[in-house]
């Protein structure tokens, strides 16, 4: 059969996914902003405490103080991150419902389940990068203000630049992990959508 | 050697269970569609037109019977091959256009070429050429909501053509259009059928669509009532 010899290629490259994902975020800006806010808030709290901890440690080494972040505060961070994950999942699920027809159409045009999955995960990565960076920025300001007013701004003469950069990397990674974890289920729902039902769906 | 029939269905049936009741959306349809013909499917809503389309497009699996496209029984295909079929062999035109609002006309038409693995520049060029051929050369960068209903349907038709499919399935393409625009759209589809030799299957309950078709299939209650030749004037 001649058919078998044709190269049956279906593709959706990462750069295509980024382009479509970016377009979509721009267009549905309010929903994206909501998701970014959920990430930013959790990450801001996390990075405030970890930056304060870094400042205290640097200060303690230089001046011999025993200031530190209390362990119960880390529990609060954990709870706030969990709340972030839940609200990202919630927003993403609504985003999937809003885009039922769009997903159905893409499947009619030849998109595979994995392409839909990829699109949603890529969007979540973009939002996580923005939210992570924003959250870290807020955390940096908050921790400087907080530490500065409790023990004085002289602390920052021993600013641990290296430690802050490492924390930035860790924070953005955490943001990526949380956002991806929160998006897996909604993205899977979208990918498994039956195109016949999706196209019949009216919002 | 390819057969004269691009699509054949054999005793095709699709039943749904709704609240313990069996709905026979399609109930034993034998249909042979000839390569390059313009086939209209006419029937009241609920007569099984859309279900038949979903079967031919590989979007839904039959309860009984089979669909053969180019001598391949599509129930034997896996998900990847079905996606390939939808991408390369079949173009869809919907009543509600189903354009992606976030993308421009050009990007909408180029979308199927992305899945087909066509390099981006090439896909965009092709999309532009097709949009020009349907008379939207001045509207390339408009978003769907900036276009009239007729223009949106033209974009959708251009999108259906993007990968040069052998078959175009048009489900009530004029259902959301006024009389004048609807006629224009039908003439456009008919031109594409003649110029590109694509097989067109158009579902409708709009009798003015029948005039351009080679054959008309009348459906009722999931069955073919009768098939007659269209174009009474030669």
Helix axes A14-27, A29-63, angle to 10 degrees: 100
Element (H, E) at B168: strand B167-171
Whether the complex's predicted ipTM surpasses the cut of 0.85 = yes
Is B100 in contact with A8 (Cβ distance < 8 A)? no
Q: Is B109 exposed, middle or buried (0-12, 13-18, 19+ CB in 10 A)?
A: buried
Query: Residue A132: helix, strand or coil by DSSP?
Result: helix
pLDDT tens figures, B187-199: 999 998 999 899 9
Contact status of B117 with chain A (Cβ, < 8 Å) = yes
What residues of A are in contact with residue B59 (Cβ under 8 Å)? Answer: 107-108, 195-196
Instruction: Output the pLDDT for position B231.
Output: 62
Q: How far is A191 from chain B (nearest CA, A)?
A: 13
User: According to the model, what pLDDT value does residue A8 have?
Assistant: 67
Chain-chain contact of B84 with A113 (C-beta, under 8 angstroms): no
| Alpha carbon distance A180, A175 (integer Å) | 8
Q: Mean pLDDT score of chain A, rounded to an integer?
A: 88
Q: Write out residues 67-96 of B within 8 Å (CB-CB) of A.
A: 70-72, 79-81, 83-84, 86-88, 92, 94, 96
Q: How confident is the model over A37-95, as pLDDT tens digits?
A: 999 999 999 999 999 988 888 888 777 777 777 778 888 999 999 999 999 999 999 99
Contact A93, A151 (CB under 8 A): no
Give the residue-averaged pLDDT of B71-96.
91
Coil/strand/helix, residue B227: strand
Residue with tokens 């066509």: B118
For residue A5, pLDDT beyond 80: no
CA dihedral B223, B7, A109, A202 (to 10 degrees): 0
Question: Taking 80 as the threshold, does the pLDDT of residue B183 lie above it?
Answer: yes
Which of B114, B116, B121, B144 to probe the A interface (max A CBs under 10 A)? B114
Distance from CA of B81 to the nearest CA of A (A): 7
- Taking CA atoms, A202 is separated from A91, A93, A109, A199, in Å, by 19, 16, 20, 8
Confidence of residue A158 (pLDDT cuts 50, 70, 90): confident
Contact B116 A110 (CB under 8 A): yes
| Look-up of token digits 């955390």 | A139
* CA nearest neighbour of A92 among A131, A129, A133, A121: A121
Q: How far is CA A196 from the centre of its chain?
A: 31
- Residue A43 to residue A135: CA distance in whole angstroms: 5
CB contact under 8 A, A199 and B94: yes
Supply the pLDDT for residue A57.
85
Sheet with B167-171, edge to edge strand ranges = B90-93, B167-171, B199-204, B38-42, B215-220, B223-229
| Cβ–Cβ < 8 Å for A63, A29 | no
Question: How far apart are alpha carbons B33 and B8 in whole angstroms?
Answer: 6
Q: Residue B115 and residue A27: Cβ atoms within 8 Å?
A: no
Whether pLDDT at A203 is above 60: no
**Token couple for A16:** 């295509």
Return the residue of A nearest to B114 by Cα: A12
Q: Is the pLDDT of residue A201 over 80?
A: no
Chain A interface, best mutation among B45, B83, B96, B166, by max A CB count within 10 A: B83
The pLDDT of residue A3? 45
Closest by CA position to B91, among listed B219, B205, B207, B202:
B202
Tokens of B184: 């224009």
pLDDT for position A1? 38
The domain limits of chain B are: 5-229
* CATH for B5-229 (2.30.40.10, 1.50.10.20, 3.40.50.280, 3.40.50.300): 3.40.50.300
CA distances A3 to A30, B70, B142, B199, Å, are 47, 9, 38, 18
Instruction: Tell me which chain A residues have a C-beta less than 8 angstroms from the C-beta of B114.
Output: 11-12, 16
């Amino acid at each position: 059969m001649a058919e078998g010899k044709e190269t049956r290629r279906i593709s959706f490259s990462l750069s295509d996914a980024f382009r479509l994902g970016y377009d979509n975020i721009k267009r549905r800006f309010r929903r994206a902003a909501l998701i970014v806010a959920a990430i930013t808030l959790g990450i801001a709290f996390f990075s405030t405490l970890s930056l304060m901890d870094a400042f205290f440690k640097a200060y303690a080494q230089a001046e011999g103080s025993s200031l530190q972040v209390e362990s119960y505060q880390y529990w609060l961070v954990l709870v706030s991150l969990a709340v972030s994950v839940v609200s990202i999942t919630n927003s993403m699920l609504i985003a999937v419902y809003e885009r039922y027809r769009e997903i159905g159409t893409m499947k009619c045009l030849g998109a595979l389940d994995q392409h839909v999955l990829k699109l949603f995960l890529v969007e979540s990565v973009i939002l996580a990068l923005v939210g992570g960076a924003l959250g870290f920025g807020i955390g940096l300001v908050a921790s400087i203000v907080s530490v500065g007013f409790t023990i004085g701004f002289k602390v920052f003469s021993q600013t641990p630049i290296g430690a802050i950069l490492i924390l930035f990397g860790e924070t953005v990674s955490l943001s990526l992990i949380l956002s991806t974890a929160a998006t897996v289920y909604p993205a899977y729902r979208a990918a498994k959508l039956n195109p016949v039902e999706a196209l019949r769906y009216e919002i | 050697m390819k057969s004269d029939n691009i699509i054949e269905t054999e005793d095709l049936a699709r039943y749904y269970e709704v609240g313990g009741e069996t709905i026979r959306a399609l109930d034993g349809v034998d249909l042979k569609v000839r390569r390059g013909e313009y086939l209209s499917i006419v029937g009241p809503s609920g007569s099984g037109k859309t279900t038949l389309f979903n079967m031919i497009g590989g979007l839904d699996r039959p309860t009984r019977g089979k669909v053969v496209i180019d001598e391949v029984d599509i129930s034997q295909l896996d998900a990847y091959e079905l996606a390939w079929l939808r991408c390369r062999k079949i173009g869809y035109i919907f009543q509600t256009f189903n354009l992606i609002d976030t993308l421009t006309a050009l990007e909408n038409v180029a979308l199927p070429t992305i899945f087909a693995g066509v390099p981006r520049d090439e896909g965009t060029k092709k999309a532009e050429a097709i949009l020009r051929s349907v008379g939207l050369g001045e509207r390339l960068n408009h978003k769907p909501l900036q276009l009239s209903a007729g223009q949106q349907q033209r974009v959708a038709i251009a999108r259906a053509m993007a990968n040069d499919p052998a078959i175009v399935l048009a489900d009530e393409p004029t259902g959301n259009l006024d009389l004048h625009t609807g006629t224009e759209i039908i003439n456009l589809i008919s031109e594409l059928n003649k110029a590109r030799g694509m097989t067109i299957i158009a579902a409708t309950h709009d009798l003015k669509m029948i005039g351009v078709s080679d054959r008309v299939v009348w459906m009722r209650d999931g069955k073919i009532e009768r098939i007659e030749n269209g174009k009474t004037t030669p």
